[in-house]
Amino acid sequence: MPRFKVICEYEGTRFSGWQVQKNARTVQGELIGASKSVFGTDSFELYGSGRTDAGVHALEQVFHLDVQTMLAPHIIKLKLNDALPADISILEIYKVSPTFHARHDAVERTYLYQISTRRTAFGKRYVWWVKDKLNVQDMIKAAQYFKGMHDFRSFTADDPDMKSTKVDITSITVKEQGDLILITISGSHFLWNMIRRMIGIIVEVGRGKQSSDIIPTLLKKQSDLPASFTAPPSGLFLASVKYDTSQGTPITSLINVQ
């Protein structure tokens, strides 16, 4: 059965996250419904690179789609977009090797969090408006403590006895851009609520209500403190998913022409 790599974007405000749930509107659920309409069958597999929580957006979510079809990728893109609601859009579709896996082959995921330093009439669904004055230099210093391999059990609702809570943060930056503070975090993978709790602690440091020195302690010892500062989902975007150069490449470039 042919396999397609699909890149999509979505505005997460009205979704209960990525994964299909009973009696809830989800991104995966809408994509499955649109696929049934386009292909006229239930015989397909649709598997995402990872889950996003309720209210979280995606600039570039990746999923693979296994379906028997003679339609060309650009036609599938057009037909899926016609069948999808306005808050989901297919950006690219490629036919790829059947061995490609959207989740297992991902080597790095990058998230963006947007903090607004002023009240906004237009961007409320895409930012966290923090009314307090924030010291950005202190936030930059705090963020650097997260870089590297650490145990994030204090920063997740996942059970550390059920799955590993160790995550490698490969990059984290904090930048001012006009009335926005943009925090970009890249890592091997992320745990449930992990980024929003990281953001919450960084903001508390920026407010002057916590010292950045608390972060190494939270990474070494179990604590419920980060949960109380969980940032809202509105400002969080899945920005990109990175694959090994040989994975997810359009199938035409995998064929050696003699």
Q: Give the residue from 69, 81, 86, 72 showing the smallest Cα distance to 34.
A: 81
Residue 186 dihedral angles phi and psi, to the nearest 5°? -120, 140
Choice among 53, 87, 151, 179 that is catalytic: 53
Could you give the CA distance from residue 74 to residue 45 in angstroms, rounded to a whole number?
19
- Respond yes or no: is residue 158 known to be catalytic: no
What is the chain's alpha carbon radius of gyration, rounded to the nearest angstrom?
Answer: 20
- b vs e for 15-45, b when ≥16 Cβ sit within 10 Å of the residue's Cβ? bbbbeeeeeeebbbbbbeebbeebbeeeebe
Could you give the CA distance from residue 77 to residue 82 in angstroms, rounded to a whole number?
9
> Active-site positions?
53
